[in-house]
Structure formats: structure tokens, C-alpha cells
A and B are shown apart, each in its own frame.
Chain A
Amino acid sequence: MSSTRFCEDLTAMLPRLRRFARGLTQDHADADDLCQQTIERALKARKQWQEGTRLDAWVYRIMRNQWIDEIRARTRRSQTFVHEDQGVNVGMDGDRDAENRVELANVDRALGRLPDEQREAVVLVMVEGFGYKEAAEILGIPQGTLTSRLGRGREALLRELGETA
């Protein structure tokens, strides 16, 4: 595997990578930041990629791990803020939930409401088209865990979007 080939394949993958980023983050700017960071990481680690394994799965894994790091960092940051006004925030969340139920269900919202672990499983299999085995490897979980998260995520989406989809 030449470096040229690696770089060509990575370049060709960028549109898909960006789609996955959007599915993970549910946000345009977050997705592009995540893409950029993923490309940086993949390039830095390019000597560690093993020939004969799937490059796309390798890069997706980098992206997903990067996103997990980001979520954790955000959670830590937000916890320091939420602490004092927790009561207020809980009230606001309740209001927002009620609003959501009234509004028309749409894919974006429904996906956004899924727990992260279900959303990533749904997006990898149903949008990105990975098989269970590859998806489980990307997420670093047993295949049984993947199918159960996928199943719960899919059920939730079907409930929410079933009539409009």
C-alpha cells in the first residue's frame, strides 16, 4: 500500500465521512469540525493503518472515537454550569419536550432524540450500509450489543416516524 493510494482513498471517502459526521453530530458546523479533526488524526496515524484491512472502517472508528471524546468534554463543561440552576433547567427541558411532541415529527429531531449509542448504530447500518460485523468493530462492541442497540434505536424511530415516514 503506497501512501499515494492511502491518500487517494481517503480523499475519495470524504463525502461519505462527512455524511457520517452529520449523522453522529446532528449539526452542520460540528460535523465539519469533526471531519477536519478526523482527517488530521488519520493522516497522523497513517503509518499505523494495516494493509488488507478496510480503510473506511478504520477512519470511521477514528471519527466515532473523536466524537465520543468531544461529547465527554462537553458534558463535563456543561455539568459545571448546570449545577446551580438544576431546577430551572429541568423545568425548561420539560417544556421543550411538550413542544416537541406537538410539532411534526421529522427525521432530524427523531434521530437527535435517540441516545448516542443507538444513533451511531442506526446510522452505521442503515445509512452507511455497514454489516453488523464491521459496525460492531467500528464501535468496539460485541455484535450482540450492536444488534440490540440497533433494534432499540430502530423501534424508537419507527414509533416516532412510522406514520410520516
Chain B
Amino acid sequence: MSVTDEELMAFADGELSGADAARVQAAIAADPALAERLEAERKLRMALRGHLDPVADEPVPQAWTAMIAAAAREDAEDEHKVISLAAARAEKAEKAGKAAKAAREARSTARGRPFMQRWGMGIAIAASLALGLFMGTRIASGPVTQRDGALMASGLLAERLDTQLASAQGSGSVRILTSFRREGGDYCRVFASGGTSGVACKDNAGWVLERTISGGAAQQSQYRQAGSADMELMAAAQEMADGAPLDAAQEEAAKAKGWRE
């Protein structure tokens, strides 16, 4: 009983079953030359896997996971919008129509942007982000304080900026999208929370809010997509950054050093 080369390889690839597999197996048992060929094939397979498998163990660049997470948030926001629009329409048709138009525009802007180069977000950002303008009314309390005219993170936000890793995202109210170093070496982090999203950079005194985007929950669902706000921030971060975003290991190391050199 002879076994063709193709059959032997199909057997090695796990493509044969039942009677076919049994027949090849019997032939191999009876013929040392066949067994030898099968063994050579097995060694080749191990050599290939030995060569390529380690790639799968390398830490995945944060930009990739951030990109996927941003898409997930965009979708979640879309669903949310459908619901809130329906409610608004029932209340006042005209108002809802306007909101939908705004949403469509926000969406087409976000989708139409060329989706990033190496950085995760290769968006040339032309939009100047509101530098704390929206924050003015909220300065008195909450996650932001003022120091010499600069806006500083405080309270929970400061704590999260200190401790939360972008690579190990919790389910808390503050999300860290990515971390990077800007020219001069300061560590900066992109964050998003219910009320405020932005980029914070660490100096001797604490986290200075370099960029902020207003994003009150109500405002956001009607006029701005979380996804597009994230993308805007990622683009701003890309502009500020000196080099690639930190990967998980670098982030861990930076945290251990208190985000200072």
C-alpha cells in the first residue's frame, strides 16, 4: 500500500481523518523511509515556529490597541446617540434635526481623516484645541486647580495620571489613552474623563494641563463624539511628542520614577 507525498503532508498538516488517517498511519509504521520523511517535516515545522513564534511574545505597541479602543468608543457613542436623539426628537423635532446634522458632520470629519501613520493617529492637526477656555468656569473645584496661570490636575485626576497605566486600563472614570515624552524629556499623558479630556505633562510641581477639550457628558453626546475627541487629542499628542509613544514596559518604568527623569 503506497502513500503519496501529498497524502503524507496532508497527514502532517492534520488534514486527514478517519480511514485516510489510519491508512497513512499504518503505512508510516510499516515503512521507515516514510517515518523519516514525516520526522523531517516535523523538524521543519518546529524550526519555522521556533523562528516566528517569539514575534507573538513581543509586547504589542500601545498605538495599535489605542487605535482599536478609540474605534470601540466611537461605536459606543454612536449607539448612545441614536437613543438620545430619539428622545430629543420626541421632545422637539427641530432641535433633534440639528443635533443629527451636527453628529453627521462630526462623524464625517472623523472618518474622513487619513487614519494615521506610524503613530497611531497621523492626523495633521489644524484645529487649535481650546486651551483651558472651557475650564474657566470649573476651576473653583474638581479635578483642576490653577497655579501661576497654568491649569494643574488635582485630586482624582492627578492621582490617576500618577498611577494608571494606559496598558492596563481600569474601568474607572478616568481613561489614559497613551503616554509619551515631549521634546525636553517631560513625560506627558493623554487622558479622558467625563468632564474633561486633555494632555497633561509632568513638571516639578505636578501635572500641567497643556491641552484640554471640553467634554461634559451632555455636551458630548449631542455635539461631539467621544471618538473624535480622542482622535483630536491623539493628534495633538503626536504633534507634541518626541518619538513614539511609550510601550507598556517604558510606561511602567516611567511610573516607577514618578514620571520624572
Contact = CB atoms under 8 A, between A and B. Distances in A.
Nearest to A150: B9
Q: At the interface, is chain B mostly helix, strand, loop or mixed?
A: helix
A109 B6 CA distance: 25
Contacts of B51: 107-108, 111
Interface residues on B, range: 35 or more
A46 interface: yes
A154 B68 contact: no
Contact of A165 (B5, B40, B67): B40
A68 B10 CA distance: 27
B48 A44 contact: no
B139 interface: no
A36 to B, nearest CB: 7
Contacts of A46: 71
B56 A18 contact: yes
A140 to B, nearest CB: 19
Contact of B68 (A43, A122, A161, A165): A43
A158 B56 contact: no
A14 B55 contact: no
B8 to A, nearest CB: 10
A157 B40 CA distance: 11
B32 interface: no
A162 B15 CA distance: 23
B58 interface: yes
B57 A107 contact: no
Contacts of B111: 44
A132 interface: yes
Contacts of A123: 48, 52
Interface stretch (A3-11, A80-88, A93-101): A3-11
Nearest to A15: B56
A19 B10 contact: no
Contacts of B58: 15, 18
Given A43-B71, A46-B71, A132-B15, A33 B118 contact: yes
A80 to B, nearest CB: 24
| Closest A-B pairs by Cβ, 4 of them | A3-B75, A7-B72, A15-B56, A107-B51
30 contacts: A3-B72, A7-B68, A7-B71, A7-B72, A14-B65, A15-B55, A15-B60, A16-B56, A18-B55, A18-B56, A18-B58, A19-B52, A23-B52, A33-B118, A36-B63, A39-B67, A40-B115, A111-B48, A122-B48, A123-B48, A125-B13, A126-B13, A126-B49, A150-B13, A151-B6, A154-B41, A157-B44, A157-B48, A158-B40, A165-B43
